[in-house]
Structure 1
């Protein structure tokens, strides 16, 4: 009697072992995917990339503080103190990043649309320095800059795929805290002199 055999599909090769397990898809990753899906259009990405360049190492905000010090000679010291506050906020964000060591988003569905100086994500230094600048320079100009400057910078970091939502929220909170301390210092100094 002839033996019946059934054809079977060839076995798939086993995946090569990796050092890292695939990252779990968290609610923050899902939110990041959605932000990019809705907002990452060419014009928005180009604007976000320009904002990223402006905010890199707080450079744009520090330049504005220097211009303020040059133009507003009567309050030169306050402008320089405010710019120092922006620099301090940026430095604080770098220090926190080095302690927390959270990696930037690495989800295959999230596009990274700009280069970054480090692979560390928490908190967003752009959100930190932007919030500090908005609060401190807003106090000097008498304008409410925070609602105009901070949300676009926070969203831009998500559009570019380099931060999670909690990174930008924490960065903004840190920048606000540093700015609050600097404003308090400036008020005390003003009242003494």
Structure 2
């Protein structure tokens, strides 16, 4: 067995374990709610815009962090169109998806980007929420674990690359 086959089997086992968690209606409901809130990065964009509205002294930083989160999401959508990996062949996912490609997870990308970019502005609760968002994509059965890991890495790296811009933009 080569490494790719091994990774694929591990991916399937992890996905199956998360999908089993979705048998609990409370877990399934929470995963569905998170997945819906994270569609197109909506939760993170709303959080960034709320920060900009409430923290006038750092409004520019909040808006740049929000733009960086949206940009990371857009990059993941572009990668998804190039890679074109099909979603897992599960019997019935718990949510509908905007597209049929799964790599990378755009929910994970925008979640990690927000955790880094908005988190740098003093919102530490974003990290556990971002992790929960990533896990929700496995519970609802629309991504492989490698999709989520790649998306989270892409989001974190994108936000990290733009950190200087967020904190040191021209004027707030």
TM-score over 0.5 (shorter chain): yes
Instruction: Write the mapping of 1:118-137 to structure 2, written as runs, cut at 5 A.
Output: 118-137=99-118
> Relative contact order: is structure 1 or structure 2 higher (C-alpha 8 Å, sep ≥ 6)?
2
- After TM superposition, give the deviation of residue 185 of structure 1 in Å: 1.9
Taking a change above 3 Å as real, the CA distance of residues 40 and 103 of structure 1, as seen in their structure-2 partners, is same
Contact 1:29/1:107 (8 A) holds in 2:
no
**Corresponding residue number in structure 1 for 2:94:** 113
C-alpha distance in 2 between matches for 1:37 and 1:44: 10
Counterpart check, 1:28 vs 2:11: yes
Q: For each residue in 1:95-118, what CA deviation from the matched residue of structure 2 results, as whole angstroms up to 9, or x when unmatched?
A: 01001000000144xx41100000
> Which 5+ residue runs of structure 2 have no aligned equivalent?
1-7
1:97 aligns with 2:80: yes
How many residues are matched? 165
Gaps of 5+ in 1: 1-24
Question: Which of the pair has more CA radius of gyration?
Answer: 1
Asked whether the 8 Å contact 1:40–1:159 carries over to 2, the reply is no
Q: Distance in 2 between matches of 1:151 and 1:40?
A: 20
SS of 1:34's partner is helix
Which has the larger share of helix?
Answer: 2
**CA RMSD in angstroms, aligned pairs only:** 1.9
Q: CA deviation at 1:34?
A: 2.0
Listed one character per residue, the Cα deviations across residues 58-89 of structure 1 (whole Å, up to 9, x for unaligned) are 11111111111111001110010000001001
Please show how residues 1-193 of structure 1 align to structure 2 within 5 Å: 26-108=9-91, 111-141=92-122, 143=124, 145-146=126-127, 148-189=128-169
State the TM-score, normalized to the length of structure 1.
0.79
Q: Normalized against structure 2, the TM-score is what?
A: 0.88
SS of the residue aligned with 1:26? helix
Provide the secondary structure at the position in 2 that maps to 1:163.
Answer: coil
